[in-house]
Structures are given as structure tokens and as C-alpha cells.
């Protein structure tokens, strides 16, 4: 083989050239410098003014390009995430790809009855157990929005359920700085203290600016609290092309990127070097139904562009995949989940959430998480590629077997088949007769059965009793302190 020959064949994909990345970046800087962003928090306004931003009118501030560039450089290029036992399990940055659940689904398909109903706290428990059991799921989240607990305690109770039912990293939401503060105290109890949590964070907070080009008081308060505590935050906009952003994909990408980078500026001015995951979603609004499209090709194109941009910036980048616009677990759900997981993996987004989402981010089911986990496994095999070294070409074996022979009984087949050949867990590979003998089950039936099996038999590693007791005490205090606060959910 030639000198310097690389034998590993790995599929790669990107949508933007470096010149195109620079063009979008310059357009983004122009938006921030000339149009500006709306800041609905006095402390945020003062912070930006002190950094050299000009007040355009009232609460709209123009951010100079030098400040944007400085903030990009000060944000960490890699963030280490741990599980609740203190073991490093994710390194967000570069081309590392991790998959997990999303948050706040209003409806859930009941596995036992098949009916669609309002989500409850047990659905959060079920999602955590399912994610904890499946090795392809790297981090967990509430999945469901628990509507059977008081609104002011909703996110706190969800976080407690996640802590109790998995050791994996937690991706979580909060209504405001008030309940976020309680959640961070809970995490400190599990970690040991505030310093240990800062050193080995096992949680990532998710929050958003408001499209177009606005940062609410609540979002800024949460952004600043995470920055102060050194807790990783995923602060990313979700723009709708044609509604909250320009209808053109290039325009939508530019505005969404301006929203994301202005969040990075706010965060880094508050605490230079604090951990932040950035990026954006710029999907379309369907002009016939007025719904946000999760499964469309435009979503994947804009997200590919987002990933290219943030790899160029050297910042950990967020993603979404494994989701569908289908309202039930059907062929559309499988098709859209597969396309998105394939592209999300090849793009190289670092923190990919929403595995198992249905109904434009409104519906969930543990069975769709199981399906997503197998798609992830399939796609990771594609991403691993294959080796064309001399050993792998296997010329000696080919010569030994020769024309008319067979390779089934060779030592290399015995030794390498598990490494080279991906094996499904739930997909059908039986011949028709065997499939009939086993009950002619569809793929949906098999993964539903697996989800039920997980919920019935999987036993997550419990929290120590002393930790559980402290968490209960914190929640009782929170119930009193948050009484009367009305969170909008």
C-alpha cells in the first residue's frame, strides 16, 4: 500500500463549504451589529452595555462583531459530562455524537391500552427506566410533561424521577430561575456539594431565546444562573421559517445563528469560560396546517448547516433526531426517525435529543424510544465504516478457499463476523415460515413488547437512602417557597 495510505473507510457528510460558512457568519455578524437583539432583563442590558454594545432603541442592543468573536473564543470547545456516580460518559465537542431523550411531551401512548392520553409523572419514570436500560441512549430527559403534579413543582418532580430511575446524565428543563435553583440544589446533594457538581456535572439544562432575536427575562435569568454555577446549559433557539424567521432557508439560518451567538455573548460576559452547548433549530412552518415540521427535509438541511457552522466555531453543538410528525407509531414515524438519525450522526452533532418524539414534539411512547435505539445502533455501524487493510482484504483466505469453495468454516469468519456484521435486536431476519411460527409479529409489536419487558423487569441503580431523604426535604421546602408563583407551561 502507498505511504500514508489510510485503510479505514468512514462516511463523511457536510452541506457547507468553508467559504459558505464564512458568508453565513458574516451575515450573522451584520444582523447582530446592525439589527441587534431584544434583551428583556435589566441585568442583561447592563452587562452588554458595559461590554460595548449600543442601545438601538429601548431594549434592543447592537452587538459589535469583535465581542461576538471574543465570546466564541472564550467558550470551551469541549465539555465533559459525567453520570451521577461521577464517571465520565460524554465528551461534547469535535465529532463525538451522543443520543438521548427530549422533554415536555404533553401526550403519551399507554403501552398496555394503546390509548393516547395526557402525560403523567409515571411516564417520566417509564422514560427514564427505558433510557437507562438501552445502551444506545446516552442521556435521559423527562420525555413527558407530568400534568398530575402542581405546576410550580412539575419540573422539580420530573428531575427527582429522573434521578431515581437512571444513573445516566440528565437533560432537563425548568420554568424559571426559581425552580431551576431548587433542581441545582438537588443535584448538589447527589454530587456531594456544589464544588463537586461543578467539577463533574451530570446534568445539562435546556433553555431557549425567543425567535425572532429576543431573550426573555426568564431565559436570561436561567442562563446567568447556570453560568454562575458552572452548570452546562444548552441555550438554543427553535425558529420557524416563514413564521418567526425568514421563509428562505439561508435567511432562517442567519437569524437563528444570530440568536444562538447572542446567547453565547450573554453567557460568556456573565462567566468567561463557563460551559455552553450552542446551535439552533431552523425548521419550517407548514403553510397548510400551521404546524412546526419535525420530519421535513428542510429541517435536516438547516441542521446540517448549523453543525457545519459550530464545528467551524469550535463549540459543542446541539442536535435533534429520532423524531417524527406522525401521530402514531407507524411507517412514517420509522421513516422520519431513520432519516434524521442518519443525518444527525453523519453531521457530527454532539448532543442529539428528542429520540422517540411523535406528533411534532407533542406525543411520546417508550416503544418509540426502543425503535430509536435500534436505528441509532444501525446508523453507528454505518458511521464506523470498514477497514481495507491487507488483513481485511483477506487475500490469503480468498486464495485458500478458491473458486467453488465456501468461507463459512474459515477461521477468519469465526473470528471476525461479529465485528464486521451488525446484528439487529428487534428487526426481522427470519425466513417467512419461521416468522409465521414465531407469531407473525410486526416490528411495532416487537419493540412494544420489549418496552413492556423493560418496564416490568429493569431495576435502575437506586439512590442512597440518605440522598433520597435530603431530596424529599428540599422538595418540601420548595413547595412552600414556590407557593403562589405561577409558571407558564
Q: What is the pLDDT of residues 402-445, one digit of tens each?
A: 999 999 999 999 999 999 999 999 999 999 999 999 999 999 99
Judge whether residue 489 has pLDDT over 90.
no
Judge whether residue 479 has pLDDT over 60.
yes
Of 5 and 367, the one with more pLDDT: 367
Q: What is the pLDDT of residues 131-187, one digit of tens each?
A: 999 999 999 999 999 999 999 999 999 999 999 999 999 999 999 999 999 999 999
CATH of 73-384, one of 3.20.20.480, 3.40.190.10, 3.50.50.60, 1.10.10.410: 3.20.20.480
Q: Considering the entire predicted model, what is its pTM?
A: 0.95
Q: Tally Cβ neighbours within 10 Å of residue 463.
A: 19
- Residue ranges per domain, the chain? 73-384
> What pLDDT shows up at residue 7?
85
* Mean pLDDT of the region 335-342: 97
Task: Give the C-alpha distances (Å, rounded to integers) separating 15 from 231, 376, 477.
Answer: 32, 21, 50
Judge whether residue 2 has pLDDT over 90.
no
Which residues does 166 contact at the CB level (< 8 Å), separation at least 6?
128, 129, 131, 132, 140, 460
Rounded CA separation 136/433 (Å):
31
* Mean pLDDT of the region 355-372: 97
Q: What is the pLDDT of residues 260-287, one digit of tens each?
A: 999 999 999 999 999 999 999 999 999 9
How many helices (H) and strands (E) in the chain?
18, 21
Please name the residue that has the C-alpha cell 438521548. 100
Q: What is the pLDDT of residues 282-326, one digit of tens each?
A: 999 999 999 999 999 999 999 999 999 999 999 999 999 999 999
Rounded CA separation 142/111 (Å):
17
Helical H segments across 385-459, by residue range: 390-393, 395-401, 411-420, 432-437, 443-457
253 φψ region: left (φ > 0), alpha (ψ -120 to 50), beta (else): alpha
Please name the residue that has the C-alpha cell 414534539. 361
Amino acid at each position: 500500500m502507498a505511504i500514508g495510505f489510510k485503510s479505514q473507510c468512514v462516511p463523511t457528510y457536510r452541506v457547507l463549504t468553508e467559504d459558505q460558512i464564512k458568508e453565513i457568519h458574516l451575515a450573522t455578524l451584520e444582523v447582530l451589529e446592525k439589527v441587534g437583539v431584544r434583551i428583556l432583563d435589566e441585568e442583561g442590558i447592563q452587562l452588554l452595555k458595559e461590554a460595548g454594545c449600543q442601545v438601538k432603541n429601548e431594549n434592543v442592543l447592537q452587538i459589535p462583531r469583535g465581542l461576538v468573536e471574543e465570546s466564541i473564543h472564550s467558550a470551551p470547545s469541549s465539555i465533559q459530562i459525567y453520570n451521577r456516580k461521577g464517571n465520565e460518559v460524554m465528551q461534547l465537542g469535535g465529532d463525538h455524537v451522543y443520543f438521548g431523550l427530549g422533554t415536555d411531551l404533553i401526550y403519551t401512548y399507554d403501552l398496555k391500552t394503546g390509548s393516547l392520553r395526557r402525560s403523567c409523572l409515571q411516564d417520566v419514570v417509564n422514560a427514564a427506566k427505558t433510557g437507562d436500560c438501552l445502551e444506545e441512549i446516552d442521556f435521559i430527559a423527562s420525555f413527558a410533561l407530568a400534568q398530575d403534579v402542581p405546576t410550580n413543582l412539575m419540573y422539580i418532580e420530573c428531575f427527582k424521577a429522573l434521578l431515581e430511575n437512571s444513573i445516566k446524565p440528565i437533560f432537563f428543563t425548568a420554568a424559571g430561575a426559581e425552580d431551576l435553583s431548587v433542581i441545582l440544589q438537588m443535584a448538589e446533594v447527589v454530587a456531594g456539594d456544589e464544588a463537586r457538581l461543578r467539577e463533574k456535572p451530570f446534568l445539562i439544562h435546556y433553555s431557549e431565546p425567543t425567535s425572532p432575536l429576543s431573550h426573555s427575562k426568564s431565559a436570561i435569568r436561567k442562563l446567568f444562573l447556570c453560568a454562575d454555577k458552572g452548570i452546562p446549559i444548552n441555550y438554543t433557539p427553535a425558529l420557524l421559517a416563514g413564521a418567526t424567521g425568514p421563509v428562505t432557508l439561508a435567511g432562517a439560518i442567519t437569524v437563528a445563528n444570530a440568536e444562538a451567538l447572542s446567547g453565547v455573548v450573554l453567557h460568556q460576559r456573565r462567566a468567561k469560560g463557563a460551559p455552553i452547548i450552542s446551535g439552533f433549530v431552523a425548521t419550517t412552518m407548514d403553510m397548510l396546517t400551521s404546524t412546526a415540521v419535525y420530519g421535513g427535509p428542510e429541517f435536516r438541511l438547516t441542521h446540517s448547516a448549523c453543525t457545519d457552522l459550530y464545528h467551524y466555531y469550535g463549540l459543542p453543538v446541539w442536535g435533534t433526531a429520532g423524531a417524527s410528525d406522525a401521530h402514531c407509531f407507524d411507517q412514517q414515524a420509522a421513516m422520519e426517525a431513520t432519516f434524521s438519525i442518519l443525518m444527525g450522526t453523519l453531521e457530527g452533532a454532539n448532543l442529539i435529543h428528542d429520540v422517540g418524539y411523535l406528533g411534532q414534539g407533542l406525543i411520546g411512547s417508550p416503544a418509540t424510544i426502543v425503535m430509536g435505539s435500534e436505528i441509532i445502533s444501525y446508523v453507528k455501524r454505518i458511521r464506523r465504516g470498514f477497514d481495507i487493510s491487507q488483513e481485511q482484504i483477506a487475500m490469503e483466505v480468498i486464495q485458500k478457499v478458491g473458486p467453488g469453495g465456501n468461507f463459512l468454516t474459515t477461521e477468519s469468519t469465526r473470528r471476525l463476523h461479529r465485528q464486521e456484521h451488525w446484528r439487529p435486536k428487534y428487526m426481522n431476519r427470519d425466513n417467512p415460515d419461521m416468522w409465521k411460527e414465531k407469531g407473525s409479529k410486526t416490528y411495532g409489536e416487537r419493540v412494544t413488547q420489549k418496552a413492556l419487558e423493560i418496564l416490568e423487569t429493569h431495576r435502575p441503580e437506586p439512590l442512597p437512602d440518605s440522598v433520597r431523604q435530603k431530596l424529599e426535604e428540599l422538595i418540601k421546602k420548595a413547595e412552600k417557597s414556590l407557593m403562589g408563583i405561577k409558571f407558564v407551561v
